[in-house]
Amino acid sequence: MKSSLAIHLLYEDCILAKLLTLQCHAFGGIISAAHDRVPNVNISHQFRAMDFISSNAASLSPSLTLAVTNRAKEMKAKGEQVFGLAGGEPDKDTPENIKQAAIQALQNGATKYTPSAGLPALRQAIADKLKRDNNLTYTPEQICVCSGAKPAVYSALRATISPGDEVIIPTPYWVSYPSMVELCGGTPVYAPTKPENGWKITADEFADAMTPRTKMIILNTPHNPTGAVYSEEELRAIGQVAEDEDILILADEIYEHLIYGEAKHVSMAALSPELYNLTITINGFSKSYAMTGWRLGYSAAPDAIAQAIRLIQDHTASNATTFAQYGAIEALKGDQSFIGDLREEYDLRRQYVYDRLSQMPKVKIVEPMGAFYFFPDISATGLDSLNFCERLLERYKVAVVPGIAFGNDQAIRISYCTSLDVLKEGLDRLEDFCRKL
């Protein structure tokens, strides 16, 4: 085992364990699958089973974001105090009115299938929300409710990407985009963004990454992991390139409400009828309403694409959990003050973390204007991101995510969806660590 940061994964299946061990070496050994813990493994059987793994599945790597949070949880379970700055979900409970709506639905017997694209009333509520918040006109038939924004992205890719198609992914990127593109037989084409451009891809960089096989670009604003927010002008410039070359845009807007200062969220599909016809809008309930565990997200797309997405959902997931969908209706139609309160609180934390990181030795940052992350450059420490995170966790008990998980090995992701007290202690320790390097 190469690393002290051995994650004992819960996989008791020897095939997966072997697979993960192989994959983990590629990541410097941050995870060591516990195939040594699997009792009575018949080795020849194990190797035969490996032969049955599809090339698609064999190419997958475990999620490093989950690896770090799992390792931190494991340390906590052993009684160690860990300062978790790695999380990707709001540290709030789902608002009570939303919970009550789901409980009521359950009590009313909402325990059967819904149409696979979702309850008509929920799709109507989403259409109303997209009009109200995003100036987007979609009919309920253009909307597909999925079990989270993640499957919404995957179904959208399944509906549009054929083997050989290239998908431009600006780096750093949200961890799952490349794997999802590969699972569809597509080829991710990485377009590195620069901190001096606020970690945002420019229209020229987009054009440079294009080849005759380019089918799509994935744009995520506000952005995970950098917190970047694209302005209308920047989106228009990128949109113009997409329009000139007939490139689809997958617009992941899951963090739309977590936006600070002067920044404004703009939806790509709202910019022109041409861009509307080229864009698949992805959104969901996880971040804005603290509903990560409910597993609810959606896509909104031009008719033909929406129909293909619906067909894929018909034959794979069927519908998102029925009573959860009733909670989602309440989320969209009920009191929205939760979102404003969350934004306000997160903005205070953001400013605190910004002040602290700005003064920290060997750390360079770009001010994030959205989501709940910082993506500081730590290259001045001389450590790669994985090494940095391992040492920080093992020696200083602070969990952050290595930038390599997002395609950039010179940075780390710090999340501020935790209390100011935890942030303060975590940052004190981070500062101490950086000073001593």
Ligand X SMILES: Cc1ncc(COP(=O)(O)O)c(C=O)c1O
Binding-site ranges for ligand X (CB under 6 A):
88, 148-150, 174, 220, 224, 252, 254, 284, 286, 292, 297
∠ Cα 204 206 208 (to 5°): 70
Please identify, using beta-carbon distances, which residue of 284 and 403 lies nearer to ligand X.
284
The Cα-based distances of 232 to 25, 274, 407 in angstroms read: 42, 16, 26
Q: Select the residue whose beta carbon is closest to ligand X and give its number.
A: 148
Please identify, using beta-carbon distances, which residue of 297 and 402 lies nearer to ligand X.
297
The Cα-based distances of 230 to 80, 197, 225, 262 in angstroms read: 40, 11, 14, 12
Contact between 84 and 72 under an 8 Å Cβ cutoff? The reply is: yes
Within 10 angstroms of residue 78's Cβ, the number of other Cβ atoms is 8
Please identify, using beta-carbon distances, which residue of 32 and 322 lies nearer to ligand X.
322
Separation CA 389–CA 237 (nearest Å): 36
Shortest CB 338 distance to ligand X, Å: 17
Separation CA 3–CA 7 (nearest Å): 10
Separation CA 224–CA 121 (nearest Å): 30
Shortest CB 213 distance to ligand X, Å: 25
Shortest CB 396 distance to ligand X, Å: 25
Separation CA 369–CA 281 (nearest Å): 21
Shortest CB 74 distance to ligand X, Å: 21
Shortest CB 291 distance to ligand X, Å: 8
Please identify, using beta-carbon distances, which residue of 272 and 292 lies nearer to ligand X.
292
Please identify, using beta-carbon distances, which residue of 220 and 325 lies nearer to ligand X.
220
Separation CA 262–CA 281 (nearest Å): 23
Please identify, using beta-carbon distances, which residue of 69 and 114 lies nearer to ligand X.
69
Separation CA 437–CA 428 (nearest Å): 15
- Structure tokens belonging to residue 393: 């966790």
Please identify, using beta-carbon distances, which residue of 83 and 373 lies nearer to ligand X.
373
HSE-CB at 99 with a 13 A cutoff on CA atoms is 7
Shortest CB 163 distance to ligand X, Å: 24
Shortest CB 252 distance to ligand X, Å: 5
Backbone torsions φ then ψ of 231, nearest 5 degrees: -85, 170
Shortest CB 432 distance to ligand X, Å: 29
Contact between 267 and 251 under an 8 Å Cβ cutoff? The reply is: yes
- Structure tokens belonging to residue 132: 């109200």
Query: Across-strand partners of 415?
Result: 373
Please identify, using beta-carbon distances, which residue of 83 and 289 lies nearer to ligand X.
289
